[in-house]
A and B are shown apart, each in its own frame.
Chain A
């Protein structure tokens, strides 16, 4: 199955979570904290919210989302003012 991460195409097995797909790519991060630090999935079960990414323009939890064909994922949530809504 084909997905697109930050504009770059990536092939993953069916059933792969977005968090697992991101882990196969460098740098494997999901977002940027208020103080500018890189964040990556931590709990893997939808609690910590560290894995917030943008999927088709909406904020989703990478660990709770399964990849679908053609899915477009952006890992820039929170990198700039207003980016969470953009």
Chain B
């Protein structure tokens, strides 16, 4: 049996960031990934400061700082683009919400500014006339998350001790992980970062699949310049039940437009739901009427791993002393992977976390005692 300090299960953006942070801390790390494909490959890769609650803000702000520190070193395939986010206010009530958001972000030193209706129309001429304004968050960015995950693993391998294996873990027992072929790997600590797949290895985790749809268009460079998100997203994104859609469009560096978003519980069917897709696209047309003339070339779905309180599970499993969790990032995994990794690595190595780990501690949920 081959032994490393840590074994990370899952090489999505969160697992890759954890492997990176742990090797940076001087530990030897084995990463195993079954290539099942998760939220990293399906999502938008929008790096966005979210402020629904202080814990979400701390995790996303710390992560954005790390993303910006990494950006100059990432390869072109990572497609890091500091396009900023425009939070769109359709009416006076949403404009007030934008002002409130600005106050919160500025109080935390996050650069942002209000655009009035005229400035918004100048910034994004393709938007329909009559919007009330927008909050522009300059530091928000975009990345191609699957490539960024690979970049993190490459960095870890180049600078530290990292072994990668494509394999499926079928069982965790103490220090030992059993693979599909029956062989075993042992490590001082096991990090479970397999997103929506995690409950298969650790039953009882409070994770629910939250389905989402995306559409990508042909290349139309310059049509949209910032990631555009309706402020209504804030109220619709975290609804715990019911299907919802929200306008969310991202300009890719290729000139393509990535169009979202939808949220749907109680299904694990990966097929495109045409009714939901139609609602989502109609919502997009409400904001960008010109989309109707563009060609979509792909549609797909993915599943976010949602927790009951919409905060991830980062830290020690309360019942299994060698098992650490980094799961449940819902739609913010790409954004919050860096701070998640930093937080987890600090806890594993006995260091001092940069932010208070308490809000993310898995022990906040009862019922995590099932092995």
> Which residues of A pack against B, CB within 8 Å?
34, 49, 52, 59, 77-78, 81-85
Contact = CB atoms under 8 A, between A and B. Distances in A.
B255 interface: yes
Contacts of A83: 219
Interface string B349-361: 0000000000000
Contacts of A85: 220, 223
Contact of B255 (A49, A52, A59, A81): A81
Contacts of A77: 218
Nearest to B221: A81
Interface of B: 218-223, 254-255, 295, 297-298
Contact of A59 (B221, B223, B295, B298): B295
Nearest to A48: B297
Contacts of B222: 81-82
Contacts, number: 28
A34 B218 contact: no
Given A49-B298, A52-B295, A52-B297, A59 B218 contact: yes
A78 B295 CA distance: 12
Contacts of B298: 49
Given A78-B218, A83-B219, A84-B219, 9 more contacts: A49-B298, A52-B295, A59-B218, A59-B295, A77-B218, A78-B219, A81-B255, A84-B218, A85-B220
Nearest to B219: A84
Nearest to B218: A84
B254 A34 contact: yes
